[in-house]
Amino acid sequence: MAKDIVYFDLETRRTANDVGGWGNKHKMGISIAVTYSTRLGEYLFYEEEEANDLINQLVRADVVVGFNHISFDYDVLMGHTIFDFRDQVRSFDLLVDLEKQLGHRIKLEDVAAATLGTGKTADGLQALRWWQQGKLLEIAEYCAYDVKVTKCVHEYGAKNGHVKYNDRNGREQKVSVQWSLE
């Protein structure tokens, strides 16, 4: 049976300010979460009421890949379960690996634009405005695109042994990565 790599991202209903700070990510709520499963070959969409289905998919995955999902998305999910993803789910966070290599955090936008020639379609604050306006389809499209970008960046790095990024001065740089999940 093929390995199931699940690419994952979620958008929230509330900001850190709305919930009393970054220490309360578990109170932010889920507007939309999206996964892409390599075993299923499809994207799945979840609303907050379906958090248990999302959690079950993540737990069953051979590895969950995301960008800042270990310290953000998992913390948001902790508002829906007592399950500790860090200890119980095999995860690979592209941001964590890049931060180790570079010595600082970097945005997915900066990696995607340089590596793939395409950036993100919006940002988390826009997704929050869409939530307030009841525009779930826009959130779902944006979140699915972020999952696709994360998947493509990961696959590029695994195949080529490097990814590119735009540094703080807008210059394109290259960083070596070892992202094969075999």
The DSSP line for 119-134 is: --SS-HHHHHHHHHTT
End-to-end CA gap in the chain: 13
Q: CA-to-CA distance for 169 and 125, rounded, in angstroms?
A: 24
Q: Which residues contact 179 (CB under 8 A, 6 or more apart)?
A: 92, 94, 97, 154, 157, 158
Question: Whole-number mean pLDDT of the chain?
Answer: 89
Q: Residue 16 above 60 pLDDT?
A: yes
Report for 28-32, 81-85, 127-131, 139-143: range of highest mean pLDDT: 28-32
Taking residues 125-143, what's their average pLDDT? 80
Distance CA 156, CA 134 (A): 35
**How far apart are the C-alpha atoms of 174 and 182, rounded to whole Å?**
23
CA 134 to chain centre: 22
Distance (Å) of CA 68 to CA 3, 94, 98, 134, 148: 22, 7, 10, 26, 15
When pLDDT is cut at 50, 70 and 90, the band that residue 168 belongs to is: confident
**What's the pLDDT band for 124 if we cut at 50, 70, 90?**
low
CB 74 within 8 A of CB 59: no
Provide the pLDDT for residue 161: 95
* pLDDT (average), residues 31-59: 94
CB-CB neighbours of 19 under 10 Å: 18
Q: Please state the φ and ψ torsions of residue 33, each to the nearest 5 degrees.
A: -120, 145
For residue 121, the model assigns a pLDDT of: 57
How much is the pTM? 0.90
Distance CA(7)–CA(96), nearest Å, equals 15
Tell me the CATH architecture of domain 5-176.
Answer: 2-Layer Sandwich (3.30)
Q: How confident is the model at residue 175 (pLDDT cuts 50, 70, 90)?
A: very high
Taking residues 163-181, report their average pLDDT.
Answer: 90
* pLDDT band at 77; cut points 50, 70, 90: very high
Per-residue pLDDT at 122: 58
Answer yes or no: are the C-beta atoms of 157 and 163 closer than 8 Å: yes
Give me 182's structure tokens: 């075999």
